[in-house]
Amino acid sequence: MVYRRKFIAVQLLLMTAMLTPGCATLDAKHAGKDHAAQMRRTMAKVRRQYDKHEYMIPMRDGVKLFTAVYTPKSKREKYPFILFRTPYSCKPYGEQFYFPSLGPTKQLADDGYIFVYQDVRGAFMSEGEFVNMTPHVEDKKSKKDIDESSDAYDTIDWLVKNIPNNNGRAGMWGISYPGFYSAASMIDHHPALVAVSPQAPIADWFFDDFHHHGAFFLPHTFNFISMFGRARPEPKKNFGERFDHGTPDGYQFFLDLGPLKNVNEKYFHDEIAFWNEAVEHPNYDEFWQKRDILPHLNNVSPAVLTVGGWYDAEDLYGPLNIYQSIEEKNPDVFNALVMGPWAHGGWMRGDGDHLGNVSFDTKASKFYAENIITPFFRYNLKGKGELNLPEAYVFETGVNEWRTFDHWPPLGLTSKSLFAREGGKLSNEPPAGDAAYDEYVSDPKKPVPFTEAVDKGMTRPYMTDDQRFASRRTDVLTYQTDVLDDAMTLAGPIYADLWVSTSGTASDWIVKVIDVLPPDAEDSEFVSDHQHMGNYQMMVRSEVIRGRFRNSYENPEPFVPNEPTHIRLKLQDVLHTFEAGHRVMIQIQSTWFPIVDRNPHNYVDNVFKADEEDFIKATQRVHRSKGHASRIDVTVLEADDGG
């Protein structure tokens, strides 16, 4: 979760503060006069259509949760509930103050539903103690056995019994952290809960948001926890102050920070409990495992529509794996997946027609609102219209088209391997020689930046950024195919199957899959100043693994210096077409800063406690011999497959 995005103004960006934490203000100096005027108009419309009431709803253990309920003024029908549970505040507080836009789409708000917003346990105006990614209690034996499933159940039960003119049906939705709460609601769910849409949901913090395969996402965690992680001894209505970096240059700020052990000494001063917990749990132990929701998604019967973005740098793992877990554990439930060309929560911010320099040639967010999420809730909660949603509604990047599939990943894919070869080639043919490799020197004191942009956190467009800045560095290896004669569409997960070695005893390995555009590619209308799309190296997918976890996330182990070692890394799913005239490129590197903290290259038991002298240069090798062939494994969608 990114600090800059997690704390976006509630009123400024309509529902985006419900996606991620926000500084709740309607200050025109931040929003702009035109936007502020639009907010006033939309808020006035909500006032005309809805009444607002606030309640403290009791849970089974006696704790009461603050809940804002917006009911339609019209009584022409009985209305279903659409519930949104959040740790990021359901401002504005006070029955005279209205949120400017209700529900996941304006179409649903115009239809008329009972919209419910709730501060989760221990957050803002709710009672109780807040627990990050509340572990699920599988076998509840008493009223003290509570989790997010039970709190959602108790909330819905109270609403159905106490809010007049409801039709006895409820739906839930949420983006990011609220997406986790939506997913949790499906477990041991209330009978009235008939439709749930987890959107960019967090699933497991060792693989999305705070970590990726154990590699620590530094600005994500630091910037977010610096405010969100502070204790809340009493109920409150406002966020605290944002962390002041003292510079817009996040690369330099985090480099000057030095080893992670300096965070408390310089900035946090042991005042942020979750940071200290993360420090004490560098491996995938019980602390992280019990915060994994995936094993608990059993006995799900509501209709489920999981939504994600192909360029969600925060929570891509969550939607893909929550969808898959429900599919495996609940084969008879309506369970659909939507993946669009969006960054985190992008379907709720803007048109979804581009990200950074890259155009998608369509307003994907409008299509989603009108044709996917609105019909989903309308049909399941009101029994109106038709629900003709496929199993998977997936946007094919590269050619910029919506595709439909009966399965995800699609059936009948063709497996293909692309091998690292001499001269920076990427080839269908495996190497035949012995003892061949490419090498570079990785220096944690001069790490490879993750973007050319200057920012305090993680830039939203970085997942489509031009990677030429990286391919021109000596500490990044680049392999690419010849120009493609025919288009090639990759569907489903990508795996990097590497043979590597390091002169040190520890190392990270970053792999990027890139679409290299032809030299004469036309500039899109979104291309930034001093940028062109000719030879643009568009990142399609990227991932990192902390090498100590190559064999086990629970039991890390060092590298033997200079010994070829096997690593298999899953890069998450794609649906992307490399068009004829393009090239496929792979980049491999060992630093990716500051998005990932620096690996010292010396094995230490706990990287969070490494000393400055632990950080050394290391010579890194990617092997490409007959016995140690490094490659990427993909699955190809033939032209006539899919829907």
Task: Calculate helix-pair angle for 218-228, 273-280, nearest 10 degrees.
Answer: 140
Q: Is the pLDDT of residue 643 over 60?
A: no
The tally of CA atoms less than 13 A away on the side-chain side of residue 272 is 23
| DSSP state at residue 430 | P
Which range, of 1-15, 105-119, 508-522, 525-539, averages the lowest pLDDT? 1-15
Confidence band for 641, pLDDT divided at 50, 70 and 90? low
Q: Residue 642's pLDDT is what?
A: 54
Q: In terms of domains, do 433 and 299 share one?
A: no
Q: Reply yes or no on whether the pLDDT at 48 is more than 90.
A: yes
Confirm whether 444 is domain-assigned.
yes
pLDDT tens digits for 137-170?
A: 999 999 999 999 999 999 999 999 999 999 999 9
Contact in structure between 571 and 545 (CB atoms under 8 Å): no
Encode pLDDT of 285-337 as tens digits. 999 999 999 999 999 999 999 999 999 999 999 999 999 999 999 999 999 99
Tens digits of per-residue pLDDT, 519-563?
999 998 999 888 999 999 999 999 999 999 999 999 999 999 999
- State yes or no: pLDDT of 209 exceeds 50: yes
CA distances from 254 to 187, 447, 594, 616 (A): 40, 11, 6, 17
Same structural domain, 78 and 172: yes
Vertex 224, ends 219 and 228: CA angle to 5°? Answer: 160
Helix (H, G, I), strand (E, B) or coil at 117: strand
Q: Provide CB contacts within 8 A for 553, sequence distance 6+.
A: 206, 213, 214, 283, 284
The amino acid at 42? T
Report in angstroms the alpha-carbon separations of 44 from 93, 361, 529. Answer: 17, 33, 39
| Residue 77 tokens, joined | 């029908």
**Cα–Cα distance measured from residue 144 to residue 475, given in angstroms and rounded to the nearest whole number:** 54
Query: Are 331 and 458 contained in the same domain?
Result: no
Does a structural domain hold residue 270? Answer: no
Give me the torsion for CA of 597, 602, 605, 610, rounded to 10°: -50
**Tell me, what's the pLDDT at 640?**
62
Q: How much is the CA Rg of the chain, to the nearest whole Å?
A: 24
Handedness of CA 102, 105, 106, 108 (dihedral sign): negative
Domain end, chosen from 281, 316, 335, is at: 335
Is the predicted pLDDT of residue 27 greater than 60, yes or no? no
Measuring CA to CA, which residue among 446, 556, 551, 561 is closest to residue 501? 561
Half-sphere exposure (CA, 13 Å, Cβ side) for 539? Answer: 28
Give the pLDDT confidence of 361-396 residue by residue, as tens digits.
999 999 999 999 999 999 999 999 999 999 999 999
pTM of the model: 0.94
Residue 17: pLDDT over 70: no
Same domain, 299 and 442: no
Taking only the tens place, the pLDDT of each residue in 442-451 is 999 999 999 9
Contact by Cβ (8 Å): 613, 234: no
pLDDT of residue 225: 95
Query: What are the helix and strand counts (H, E) for the chain?
Result: 16, 25
- Whole-angstrom distance, CA of residue 67 vs CA of residue 59: 12
pLDDT for 241 equals 87
pLDDT tens readout for residues 566-600: 999 999 999 999 999 999 999 999 999 999 999 99
- % of the chain exceeding 90 in pLDDT: 90
- Percentage above 70 pLDDT, the chain: 94
d(CA 86, CA 80) in angstroms, rounded, equals 20
> Rounded to an integer, what distance in angstroms lies between the CA atom of residue 549 and that of residue 592?
18
Q: Is the pLDDT of residue 4 over 70?
A: no
Please check whether residues 331 and 434 belong to one and the same domain. Answer: no
pLDDT reading at 473 higher than 90: yes
Report long-range pairs for 548-556 (Cβ below 8 Å, ≥24 apart): 548/214, 548/506, 548/603, 549/213, 549/214, 549/283, 549/284, 553/206, 553/213, 553/214, 553/283, 553/284, 554/283, 554/284, 554/285, 555/283, 556/214, 556/283
- Per-residue model confidence as pLDDT tens digits over 246-279: 999 999 999 999 999 999 999 999 999 999 999 9
Q: Taking 50 as the threshold, does the pLDDT of residue 19 lie above it?
A: no
For residue 486, the enclosing domain spans 414-637
Taking all residues of the chain, what is their mean pLDDT, rounded to a whole number?
A: 93
Kindly state the average pLDDT of the residues 117-144: 96
Q: Are residues 457 and 553 in the same domain?
A: yes
Residue 345 has pLDDT above 60, yes or no: yes
| 367 in a structural domain | no
Residue 128: inside a domain = yes
Q: What CATH number has the domain bearing residue 456?
A: 2.60.120.260
Residue 116: count other Cβ atoms within 10 Å of its Cβ. 25
Q: Indicate whether 47 and 166 sit together in one domain.
A: yes
Residue 180 belongs to a domain? yes
- 3-state DSSP helix/strand/coil percent for the chain, to nearest 5? 25, 30, 50
Distances (CA, A) of 242 to 224, 225, 230, 236: 9, 10, 11, 16
Same domain, 469 and 331: no
The gap from C-alpha 611 to its chain's centroid, in whole angstroms, comes to 31
Is residue 374 situated within a structural domain?
A: no
- What's the confidence (pLDDT) of residue 5? 36
Residue 36 has pLDDT above 80, yes or no: no
In the chain, the number of structural domains is: 2
CATH code, domain carrying 103: 3.40.50.1820
Distance CA 172, CA 205 (A): 22
Listed range (9-13, 36-40, 47-51) with the worst mean pLDDT: 9-13
Q: How confident is the model at residue 43 (pLDDT cuts 50, 70, 90)?
A: confident
- Give the confidence band of 115 by pLDDT, cuts at 50, 70, 90: very high
Q: Confidence band (pLDDT; 50, 70, 90) for 14?
A: very low
Residue 493 has pLDDT above 80, yes or no: yes
Cα–Cα separations (whole angstroms), residue 567 to 107, 404, 602, 626 = 48, 33, 18, 16
CA distance 596 to 544: 9
Residue 94 within any structural domain of the chain: yes
CB 446 within 8 A of CB 589: no
Please check whether residue 74 lies inside any domain of the structure: yes
317, 335, 353 - which closes a domain: 335
For residue 122, the model assigns a pLDDT of 97
Tell me: do 17 and 155 sit in the same domain.
yes
Asked if residue 24 has pLDDT above 60, the reply is: no
pLDDT at residue 219 greater than cutoff 60: yes
Residue with the larger pLDDT of the pair 29 and 503 = 503
Q: Above 60 in pLDDT, residue 174?
A: yes
Residue 18 pLDDT: 38
